[in-house]
Structure 1
Amino acid sequence: MPYTCAEFDALPVPDADAILSECCSSRTWVGRLVDGRPYGARAELLRASDEATAALARDDVADALAGHPRIGERSDHPSSRREQASVGTADARIRDALAEGNREYEERFGHVYLVRASGRSAAELLSILQRRLTHDPETEWNETKAALAEINRVRLEVLVADDSAGPGRKGV
Protein backbone atom coordinates (compact mmCIF):
# COMPACT_ATOMS: atom_id res chain seq x y z
CA MET A 1 0.00 0.00 0.00
CA PRO A 2 1.20 3.54 -0.63
CA TYR A 3 2.26 6.05 1.98
CA THR A 4 0.03 8.91 2.95
CA CYS A 5 1.62 12.24 2.17
CA ALA A 6 2.08 12.83 5.93
CA GLU A 7 3.93 9.50 6.23
CA PHE A 8 6.09 10.32 3.22
CA ASP A 9 6.84 13.79 4.59
CA ALA A 10 7.93 12.26 7.92
CA LEU A 11 10.31 9.66 6.48
CA PRO A 12 13.95 9.99 7.47
CA VAL A 13 16.02 11.52 4.67
CA PRO A 14 17.80 8.25 3.73
CA ASP A 15 14.46 6.41 3.45
CA ALA A 16 12.84 9.14 1.36
CA ASP A 17 15.94 9.27 -0.81
CA ALA A 18 15.88 5.50 -1.38
CA ILE A 19 12.18 5.46 -2.24
CA LEU A 20 12.41 8.39 -4.64
CA SER A 21 15.47 6.83 -6.28
CA GLU A 22 13.18 3.95 -7.28
CA CYS A 23 11.04 6.49 -9.17
CA CYS A 24 13.84 8.35 -10.94
CA SER A 25 17.60 7.87 -11.05
CA SER A 26 18.40 11.59 -11.36
CA ARG A 27 20.14 12.52 -8.10
CA THR A 28 19.16 16.16 -8.69
CA TRP A 29 15.45 15.29 -8.97
CA VAL A 30 15.60 13.08 -5.87
CA GLY A 31 17.44 15.76 -3.89
CA ARG A 32 14.97 18.47 -4.81
CA LEU A 33 12.00 16.36 -3.77
CA VAL A 34 13.59 15.20 -0.52
CA ASP A 35 14.65 18.76 0.35
CA GLY A 36 11.22 20.17 -0.59
CA ARG A 37 9.38 18.24 2.12
CA PRO A 38 6.95 18.62 3.75
CA TYR A 39 4.38 18.73 0.96
CA GLY A 40 1.25 18.17 3.01
CA ALA A 41 -0.74 16.86 0.05
CA ARG A 42 -0.04 14.53 -2.86
CA ALA A 43 -1.02 17.25 -5.32
CA GLU A 44 1.81 19.43 -3.98
CA LEU A 45 4.30 16.57 -4.26
CA LEU A 46 3.25 15.97 -7.87
CA ARG A 47 3.55 19.68 -8.66
CA ALA A 48 7.02 19.72 -7.12
CA SER A 49 7.99 16.68 -9.19
CA ASP A 50 6.85 18.38 -12.40
CA GLU A 51 8.82 21.53 -11.50
CA ALA A 52 11.93 19.55 -10.54
CA THR A 53 11.80 17.58 -13.79
CA ALA A 54 11.32 20.73 -15.89
CA ALA A 55 14.36 22.31 -14.20
CA LEU A 56 16.69 19.37 -14.91
CA ALA A 57 19.77 20.14 -16.96
CA ARG A 58 20.82 17.82 -19.79
CA ASP A 59 23.27 15.90 -17.57
CA ASP A 60 20.53 15.37 -14.97
CA VAL A 61 18.15 14.06 -17.62
CA ALA A 62 20.92 11.77 -18.87
CA ASP A 63 21.21 10.41 -15.30
CA ALA A 64 17.46 9.78 -15.29
CA LEU A 65 17.57 8.08 -18.69
CA ALA A 66 20.31 5.75 -17.46
CA GLY A 67 17.77 4.27 -15.04
CA HIS A 68 15.29 3.31 -17.77
CA PRO A 69 15.46 0.14 -19.84
CA ARG A 70 14.64 0.16 -23.53
CA ILE A 71 10.97 -0.34 -24.35
CA GLY A 72 10.51 -4.07 -24.73
CA GLU A 73 13.71 -4.99 -22.90
CA ARG A 74 13.41 -7.16 -19.80
CA SER A 75 14.12 -5.25 -16.62
CA ASP A 76 14.74 -6.04 -12.97
CA HIS A 77 13.06 -2.75 -12.02
CA PRO A 78 9.54 -3.55 -10.69
CA SER A 79 8.03 -0.30 -12.00
CA SER A 80 9.43 -0.83 -15.49
CA ARG A 81 8.18 -4.42 -15.59
CA ARG A 82 4.69 -3.31 -14.56
CA GLU A 83 4.63 -0.33 -16.90
CA GLN A 84 5.81 -2.31 -19.93
CA ALA A 85 3.68 -5.40 -19.34
CA SER A 86 1.82 -4.95 -22.65
CA VAL A 87 5.02 -5.37 -24.64
CA GLY A 88 5.65 -8.84 -23.25
CA THR A 89 2.33 -10.07 -24.61
CA ALA A 90 2.62 -8.37 -28.01
CA ASP A 91 3.17 -10.41 -31.14
CA ALA A 92 6.73 -10.96 -32.35
CA ARG A 93 6.32 -8.54 -35.27
CA ILE A 94 5.64 -5.61 -32.92
CA ARG A 95 8.39 -6.63 -30.49
CA ASP A 96 10.88 -6.88 -33.37
CA ALA A 97 9.80 -3.47 -34.74
CA LEU A 98 10.23 -1.94 -31.27
CA ALA A 99 13.73 -3.41 -30.98
CA GLU A 100 14.70 -2.05 -34.41
CA GLY A 101 13.09 1.33 -33.62
CA ASN A 102 14.99 1.51 -30.33
CA ARG A 103 18.27 0.98 -32.18
CA GLU A 104 17.41 3.63 -34.79
CA TYR A 105 16.26 6.06 -32.09
CA GLU A 106 19.46 5.68 -30.05
CA GLU A 107 21.62 6.16 -33.16
CA ARG A 108 19.68 9.30 -34.08
CA PHE A 109 19.31 10.92 -30.65
CA GLY A 110 22.07 9.36 -28.53
CA HIS A 111 19.85 8.17 -25.69
CA VAL A 112 17.20 5.62 -24.86
CA TYR A 113 13.66 6.16 -26.20
CA LEU A 114 11.69 7.25 -23.14
CA VAL A 115 7.91 7.15 -23.14
CA ARG A 116 5.22 6.64 -20.50
CA ALA A 117 4.42 3.00 -21.19
CA SER A 118 1.89 2.61 -18.39
CA GLY A 119 -1.61 2.10 -19.80
CA ARG A 120 -0.42 1.88 -23.41
CA SER A 121 -0.38 -1.08 -25.77
CA ALA A 122 2.78 -2.25 -27.49
CA ALA A 123 1.31 -1.12 -30.83
CA GLU A 124 0.72 2.36 -29.39
CA LEU A 125 4.28 2.52 -28.04
CA LEU A 126 5.58 1.56 -31.50
CA SER A 127 3.42 4.22 -33.15
CA ILE A 128 4.72 6.88 -30.76
CA LEU A 129 8.30 5.75 -31.41
CA GLN A 130 7.82 5.99 -35.17
CA ARG A 131 6.36 9.50 -34.82
CA ARG A 132 9.19 10.63 -32.57
CA LEU A 133 11.83 9.38 -34.98
CA THR A 134 10.70 12.21 -37.30
CA HIS A 135 11.58 14.90 -34.72
CA ASP A 136 14.54 17.21 -34.85
CA PRO A 137 16.89 16.77 -31.84
CA GLU A 138 15.58 19.75 -29.84
CA THR A 139 11.92 18.79 -30.30
CA GLU A 140 12.74 15.25 -29.26
CA TRP A 141 14.71 16.41 -26.22
CA ASN A 142 11.68 18.41 -25.06
CA GLU A 143 9.41 15.41 -25.60
CA THR A 144 11.84 13.21 -23.66
CA LYS A 145 11.72 15.59 -20.69
CA ALA A 146 7.90 15.63 -20.87
CA ALA A 147 7.88 11.81 -20.90
CA LEU A 148 10.18 11.76 -17.87
CA ALA A 149 7.80 14.07 -16.02
CA GLU A 150 4.86 11.76 -16.87
CA ILE A 151 6.73 8.66 -15.71
CA ASN A 152 7.84 10.32 -12.47
CA ARG A 153 4.25 11.42 -11.83
CA VAL A 154 2.83 7.92 -12.47
CA ARG A 155 5.39 6.38 -10.14
CA LEU A 156 4.74 8.94 -7.41
CA GLU A 157 1.00 8.31 -7.71
CA VAL A 158 1.73 4.67 -6.84
CA LEU A 159 4.03 5.69 -3.99
CA VAL A 160 1.86 8.30 -2.27
CA ALA A 161 -1.88 7.83 -1.78
CA ASP A 162 -4.38 10.39 -3.01
CA ASP A 163 -5.32 12.50 0.02
CA SER A 164 -9.01 12.08 -0.77
CA ALA A 165 -8.70 8.27 -0.75
CA GLY A 166 -8.35 8.04 3.03
CA PRO A 167 -5.36 6.91 5.06
CA GLY A 168 -2.73 4.77 3.40
CA ARG A 169 -0.33 2.28 4.87
CA LYS A 170 3.41 2.01 4.70
CA GLY A 171 4.82 -0.77 2.64
CA VAL A 172 5.93 0.45 -0.77
Structure 2
Amino acid sequence: MFLHEALGLDGFNRLSDRAAMHALFECCSSSIWARRVAAGRPFDSADALLERADSELEELSETEIDRALDGHPRIGASVTAGSSSQREQAAVNEADQGVKDALAAGNRTYEEKFGHVYLVCATGRPATELLAILTERLDNDPETERRVMRTELAKINRIRLTRMLTERTDQ
Protein backbone atom coordinates (compact mmCIF):
# COMPACT_ATOMS: atom_id res chain seq x y z
CA MET A 1 0.00 0.00 0.00
CA PHE A 2 1.03 3.54 -0.54
CA LEU A 3 0.00 4.84 2.90
CA HIS A 4 1.81 4.51 6.22
CA GLU A 5 -1.22 3.94 8.43
CA ALA A 6 -4.19 1.64 8.22
CA LEU A 7 -6.65 3.22 5.87
CA GLY A 8 -9.81 2.24 7.69
CA LEU A 9 -13.16 2.36 5.98
CA ASP A 10 -13.63 6.09 6.60
CA GLY A 11 -10.17 6.81 5.21
CA PHE A 12 -10.88 4.71 2.15
CA ASN A 13 -14.19 6.48 1.58
CA ARG A 14 -12.43 9.88 1.79
CA LEU A 15 -9.72 9.06 -0.78
CA SER A 16 -9.86 10.81 -4.11
CA ASP A 17 -11.22 8.65 -6.91
CA ARG A 18 -7.71 8.22 -8.30
CA ALA A 19 -6.22 7.25 -4.93
CA ALA A 20 -9.07 4.82 -4.21
CA MET A 21 -8.62 3.16 -7.60
CA HIS A 22 -4.85 2.93 -6.96
CA ALA A 23 -5.43 1.27 -3.58
CA LEU A 24 -7.92 -1.15 -5.10
CA PHE A 25 -5.64 -1.92 -8.06
CA GLU A 26 -2.98 -2.99 -5.54
CA CYS A 27 -5.51 -5.54 -4.27
CA CYS A 28 -6.58 -6.78 -7.73
CA SER A 29 -4.82 -5.93 -11.00
CA SER A 30 -7.98 -5.16 -12.92
CA SER A 31 -8.46 -1.47 -13.60
CA ILE A 32 -12.11 -2.07 -14.50
CA TRP A 33 -12.71 -3.85 -11.18
CA ALA A 34 -10.91 -1.09 -9.27
CA ARG A 35 -12.92 1.64 -10.99
CA ARG A 36 -16.25 -0.14 -10.44
CA VAL A 37 -15.58 -0.90 -6.78
CA ALA A 38 -14.40 2.66 -6.13
CA ALA A 39 -17.58 3.98 -7.74
CA GLY A 40 -19.57 2.31 -4.97
CA ARG A 41 -18.16 4.62 -2.30
CA PRO A 42 -18.98 5.63 0.28
CA PHE A 43 -19.41 2.22 1.87
CA ASP A 44 -21.19 2.06 5.20
CA SER A 45 -19.37 -1.11 6.29
CA ALA A 46 -16.40 -3.26 5.39
CA ASP A 47 -18.87 -6.01 4.52
CA ALA A 48 -20.54 -3.72 1.98
CA LEU A 49 -17.15 -3.09 0.38
CA LEU A 50 -16.39 -6.82 0.26
CA GLU A 51 -19.81 -7.59 -1.23
CA ARG A 52 -19.30 -4.93 -3.91
CA ALA A 53 -15.85 -6.33 -4.66
CA ASP A 54 -17.27 -9.85 -5.07
CA SER A 55 -20.14 -8.63 -7.22
CA GLU A 56 -17.90 -6.65 -9.53
CA LEU A 57 -15.50 -9.59 -9.85
CA GLU A 58 -18.37 -11.85 -10.91
CA GLU A 59 -19.25 -9.39 -13.69
CA LEU A 60 -15.75 -9.17 -15.20
CA SER A 61 -15.15 -10.57 -18.64
CA GLU A 62 -12.70 -13.41 -19.06
CA THR A 63 -10.28 -10.98 -20.71
CA GLU A 64 -10.37 -8.72 -17.66
CA ILE A 65 -9.94 -11.70 -15.34
CA ASP A 66 -6.79 -12.53 -17.31
CA ARG A 67 -5.57 -8.97 -16.64
CA ALA A 68 -6.24 -9.48 -12.94
CA LEU A 69 -4.17 -12.68 -13.07
CA ASP A 70 -1.23 -10.71 -14.45
CA GLY A 71 -0.79 -9.27 -10.95
CA HIS A 72 -0.18 -12.70 -9.42
CA PRO A 73 3.20 -14.43 -9.61
CA ARG A 74 3.52 -18.18 -9.82
CA ILE A 75 3.23 -20.00 -6.53
CA GLY A 76 6.80 -20.43 -5.35
CA ALA A 77 8.28 -17.80 -7.68
CA SER A 78 10.48 -15.01 -6.36
CA VAL A 79 8.34 -12.05 -5.37
CA THR A 80 9.04 -8.49 -4.33
CA ALA A 81 9.97 -8.14 -0.66
CA GLY A 82 7.11 -6.66 1.34
CA SER A 83 4.53 -7.35 -1.36
CA SER A 84 1.15 -8.94 -0.72
CA SER A 85 2.26 -11.96 -2.72
CA GLN A 86 5.36 -12.42 -0.56
CA ARG A 87 3.26 -12.37 2.60
CA GLU A 88 0.66 -14.72 1.13
CA GLN A 89 3.25 -17.24 -0.05
CA ALA A 90 5.49 -17.05 3.02
CA ALA A 91 5.12 -20.75 3.83
CA VAL A 92 6.38 -21.73 0.38
CA ASN A 93 9.78 -20.20 1.13
CA GLU A 94 10.16 -22.63 4.02
CA ALA A 95 9.50 -25.73 1.90
CA ASP A 96 12.23 -28.14 0.98
CA GLN A 97 13.71 -27.92 -2.49
CA GLY A 98 11.91 -31.03 -3.72
CA VAL A 99 8.52 -29.47 -3.01
CA LYS A 100 9.61 -26.19 -4.61
CA ASP A 101 10.78 -28.07 -7.72
CA ALA A 102 7.49 -29.99 -7.88
CA LEU A 103 5.56 -26.72 -7.60
CA ALA A 104 7.60 -25.20 -10.43
CA ALA A 105 6.93 -28.22 -12.65
CA GLY A 106 3.27 -28.25 -11.69
CA ASN A 107 2.97 -24.54 -12.48
CA ARG A 108 4.36 -25.15 -15.96
CA THR A 109 1.97 -28.07 -16.58
CA TYR A 110 -0.97 -26.05 -15.30
CA GLU A 111 -0.14 -23.05 -17.49
CA GLU A 112 0.24 -25.27 -20.55
CA LYS A 113 -3.16 -26.85 -19.90
CA PHE A 114 -5.16 -23.78 -18.86
CA GLY A 115 -3.26 -20.86 -20.39
CA HIS A 116 -2.95 -18.87 -17.16
CA VAL A 117 -1.13 -18.85 -13.86
CA TYR A 118 -2.19 -21.32 -11.16
CA LEU A 119 -4.05 -19.12 -8.70
CA VAL A 120 -4.84 -20.30 -5.21
CA CYS A 121 -5.41 -18.47 -1.94
CA ALA A 122 -2.04 -19.35 -0.40
CA THR A 123 -2.35 -17.42 2.85
CA GLY A 124 -1.47 -19.67 5.79
CA ARG A 125 -1.08 -22.78 3.65
CA PRO A 126 2.10 -24.86 3.50
CA ALA A 127 3.73 -25.57 0.15
CA THR A 128 2.80 -29.26 0.33
CA GLU A 129 -0.89 -28.35 0.55
CA LEU A 130 -0.59 -25.89 -2.36
CA LEU A 131 1.10 -28.62 -4.42
CA ALA A 132 -1.66 -31.11 -3.57
CA ILE A 133 -4.33 -28.58 -4.60
CA LEU A 134 -2.48 -27.87 -7.86
CA THR A 135 -2.22 -31.58 -8.64
CA GLU A 136 -5.93 -32.07 -7.95
CA ARG A 137 -6.96 -29.08 -10.04
CA LEU A 138 -5.03 -30.38 -13.05
CA ASP A 139 -7.87 -32.90 -13.40
CA ASN A 140 -10.41 -30.08 -13.94
CA ASP A 141 -11.77 -29.24 -17.36
CA PRO A 142 -11.07 -25.63 -18.46
CA GLU A 143 -14.58 -24.35 -17.63
CA THR A 144 -14.52 -25.82 -14.12
CA GLU A 145 -11.04 -24.49 -13.54
CA ARG A 146 -12.04 -20.95 -14.55
CA ARG A 147 -14.83 -21.07 -11.94
CA VAL A 148 -12.44 -22.36 -9.28
CA MET A 149 -9.84 -19.74 -10.19
CA ARG A 150 -12.44 -16.91 -9.93
CA THR A 151 -13.40 -18.19 -6.46
CA GLU A 152 -9.75 -18.17 -5.41
CA LEU A 153 -9.30 -14.65 -6.81
CA ALA A 154 -12.29 -13.47 -4.76
CA LYS A 155 -10.75 -14.97 -1.59
CA ILE A 156 -7.43 -13.22 -2.28
CA ASN A 157 -9.19 -9.92 -2.98
CA ARG A 158 -11.08 -10.15 0.31
CA ILE A 159 -7.89 -10.80 2.28
CA ARG A 160 -6.12 -7.89 0.60
CA LEU A 161 -9.08 -5.52 1.02
CA THR A 162 -9.36 -6.40 4.70
CA ARG A 163 -5.63 -5.86 5.13
CA MET A 164 -5.89 -2.51 3.31
CA LEU A 165 -8.53 -1.36 5.77
CA THR A 166 -6.99 -2.70 8.97
CA GLU A 167 -3.20 -3.05 8.86
CA ARG A 168 -0.40 -0.57 9.02
CA THR A 169 1.42 -0.55 5.71
CA ASP A 170 4.90 0.53 6.83
CA GLN A 171 5.71 -2.71 8.61
Give 2:123's match in structure 1, choosing from 118, 121, 131: 118
Amino acid at match of 1:102: N
- Change beyond 3 A, Cα 1:60–1:90: same
TM-score where L is the length of structure 1:
0.92
User: Structure 1: which 5+ runs fail to align?
Assistant: 162-167
- Secondary structure at the counterpart of residue 25 of structure 1: coil
Partner of 2:141: 136
- Secondary structure at the counterpart of residue 160 of structure 1: helix
Question: Alpha-carbon deviations, 1:118-140, whole Å to 9, x = none?
Answer: 11111110011001000000000
- Change beyond 3 A, Cα 1:171–1:91: closer
Contact 1:105 1:133 in 2 (8 A): yes
% same residue: 46
1:28 aligned onto 2:32: yes
- Change beyond 3 A, Cα 1:37–1:98: same
User: Structure 2: which 5+ runs fail to align?
Assistant: none
- Secondary structure at the counterpart of residue 66 of structure 2: helix
1:43 aligned onto 2:47: yes
102-111 or 8-17, which deviates more: 8-17
- CA distance in 2 between counterparts of 1:12 and 1:81 reads 28
Which structure has more RCO (C-alpha within 8 Å, separation ≥ 6)?
Answer: 1
Amino acid at match of 1:82: R
- Change beyond 3 A, Cα 1:169–1:10: farther
TM-score where L is the length of structure 2:
0.92
- CA distance in 2 between counterparts of 1:7 and 1:54 reads 26
- The runs of at least 4 aligned residues of structure 1 exceeding 3 Å deviation read 168-172
- CA distance in 1 between counterparts of 2:119 and 2:154 reads 11
Q: Give the superposition deviation at 1:2.
A: 2.1
